[in-house]
Homo-oligomer: A and B are copies of this chain.
Amino acid sequence: MSDVRRIVESHSDEFLAQLTDWLRIPSISADPELAPEVRRSAAWLADAFRALGCPVVEIWETAGQPSVFAEWRAADPAAPSVVVYGHHDVQPVDPLELWDHPPFEPTLVGDDLLARGAVDDKGQVAFHLLALRAWFESTGRTAPPVTLKFLIEGEEENGSPNFRALLEEHRKRLPCDAVVVSDTGMWDAETPSVCTGMRGMIHCQIDMHGPDIDLHSGQFGGAIPNPLDALIGLLAGLHDDARHVTLPGFYDDVRPLTTRERELFARLPYDEKEWLATAQSRATYGEEGFTTLERTWARPTCEVHGVWGGYTGHGNKTIVPSDAHAKLSFRLVADQEPLRVKKLLDEYVAASLPAGIDAVVHWSTDGVRPCLTPMDSPALQATVTAMQRTFGGEVLFTREGGSGPEADLGDLLGAPVVFLGVGLPTDRIHAPNERVNFPLLLKGAQATAYLWDELATALRPA
């Protein structure tokens, strides 16, 4: 057994007690009444870094909830620098009645530690504390092999509204050679894997307006443009029969999957029956020529989330309605730009309107950019090696279909982003009975301790 593994395991009880203590703080960033708890959570984490002996620990204020910044410089001034991103805030807990144990009273059931934030993301930030301790104890040294800059956000679960401004404000203190994100997971407990990317997204609402009043369809029907009908035509026209998005140029910037990437996806023990059972769907569907994993991880989509308009009550009311609405989003992959897709849809809507129908497309944000770690990135190779040393066997590659602030982080800091995470698809993040496989957190700590050495080598200036 490696020293690191032995040390990590020897501190297991202490680590459980420490994490449990933190998980008791209901740091729900979306609830303004719990703002003091988010602040308490930040203070808890700052104290934990200080207790380890971390030389620089600061609370970074934002217009909303505070982040924690902790910096531990390498002894060698030429050593690479790494920014570690995570978050200390958690999701709301509704509906409370569906929790088997109170969300802020962490409970160990078998190997699972149940609590809000257990895996997303306090557990995965906490294993970094344990990793530091294990690295120092195993080496007997007093400074890490790479300069570590922990930036642990307090508003990730509320859409990170102030994170970009925070990065810009503190940019000078954040130069780095890689960004390590611990907020994702593995394929399953038996399949160690590294996430290499997340889709981006941009979403909007389309409001269509036809006649200024609802009209009697007997009197007017067949001779008045119906905004619901126009909306339906517009939305239907967004896909062709092969489920390609039809916006001209939509795929221009899409980085195609390489043969190697497709082979690697195909090696994952994907079980369609199981996947469908999780989705509670009776079939898969999607863009022709791609597998389910490719469709959800590596291909852009256009999805309609909601449509409403006209008469929707009981019985029947035969009207030509005045208004129609839809909410939709585009999931984007490298190297698509959300604002370019926004422009394409705006142009399409403007060109699709029959006379007598107006439309307004509302975009509430500029979207989230996709991120993708190149397979040949040295930082990725270091991560894979660290995982391989921890778990043994082959390390596979996954992606996430969802979207986070990681691309902005990489772009603003000008560094590659890698993901080291040990969550599982069964962890019920954002849902009642969130949990983490506690032994996997220990593995996360072990892999992280290895990672610093691996990155020190991989990113060493030539």
Complex copy number for this chain? 2
A329 close to B321 (CB less than 8 A): no
For chain A, give the interface size range.
35 or more
Q: Please tell me if A376 contacts chain B, counting CB pairs below 8 Å.
A: no
A310 close to B327 (CB less than 8 A): yes
User: Within A203-251, which residues are at the interface with B (CB < 8 Å)?
Assistant: 203, 205, 210-213, 215-226, 228-229, 232-233, 235-237, 239
Residues of B within 8 A of A133 (CB): none
CA distance in complex: A220, B402 (Å): 9
**Which residue of chain B has its CB nearest to the CB of A354?**
B285
Q: Please tell me if A199 contacts chain B, counting CB pairs below 8 Å.
A: yes
Distance of A364 from chain B, by nearest CB (Å): 7
Residues of B within 8 A of A236 (CB): 232-233, 235-237
What per-residue 1/0 map shows which CB atoms of A288-303 lie under 8 Å from chain B?
0000100110011101
Residues of B within 8 A of A216 (CB): 402
**Which residue of chain B has its CB nearest to the CB of A298?**
B222
User: Within A121-180, which residues are at the interface with B (CB < 8 Å)?
Assistant: none
B321 close to A306 (CB less than 8 A): yes
Q: Please tell me if A266 contacts chain B, counting CB pairs below 8 Å.
A: no
CA distance in complex: A220, B295 (Å): 9
Q: Please tell me if A258 contacts chain B, counting CB pairs below 8 Å.
A: no
Residues of B within 8 A of A301 (CB): 217, 221-222
B295 close to A305 (CB less than 8 A): no
Q: Please tell me if A287 contacts chain B, counting CB pairs below 8 Å.
A: yes
CA distance in complex: A232, B303 (Å): 12
Segment among A71-79, A275-283, A451-459 that sits at the interface with chain B: A275-283
A304 close to B211 (CB less than 8 A): no
Residues of B within 8 A of A239 (CB): 229
Q: Please tell me if A284 contacts chain B, counting CB pairs below 8 Å.
A: yes
Q: Please tell me if A318 contacts chain B, counting CB pairs below 8 Å.
A: yes
CA distance in complex: A212, B217 (Å): 34
What per-residue 1/0 map shows which CB atoms of A308-322 lie under 8 Å from chain B?
111110011111110
Residues of B within 8 A of A213 (CB): 280
Distance of A84 from chain B, by nearest CB (Å): 23
**Which residue of chain B has its CB nearest to the CB of A402?**
B218
Q: State which of B218, B295, B310, B327 has its C-beta within 8 Å of the C-beta of A400.
A: B218
CA distance in complex: A309, B232 (Å): 13
CA distance in complex: A402, B220 (Å): 9
**Which residue of chain B has its CB nearest to the CB of A306?**
B310
Distance of A326 from chain B, by nearest CB (Å): 8
Q: Please tell me if A414 contacts chain B, counting CB pairs below 8 Å.
A: no
Q: State which of B215, B224, B283, B312 has its C-beta within 8 Å of the C-beta of A306.
A: B312
18 A-B pairs within 8 Å (CB atoms) are namely A212-B280, A216-B402, A217-B303, A217-B331, A220-B279, A220-B296, A222-B286, A222-B301, A226-B304, A228-B306, A232-B232, A233-B236, A236-B237, A283-B356, A283-B357, A306-B310, A306-B311, A308-B312
Residues of A whose CB lies within 8 Å of any CB of B are 199, 201, 203, 205, 210-213, 215-226, 228-229, 232-233, 235-237, 239, 279-287, 292, 295-296, 299-301, 303-312, 315-321, 324-325, 327, 329, 331, 354-357, 364, 400-403
**18 more CB-based (< 8 A) A-B contacts, given A305-B310, A307-B324:** A205-B316, A210-B281, A211-B281, A217-B301, A219-B400, A220-B296, A221-B296, A222-B287, A223-B284, A223-B295, A225-B281, A232-B235, A232-B307, A236-B237, A283-B357, A285-B354, A305-B320, A318-B329
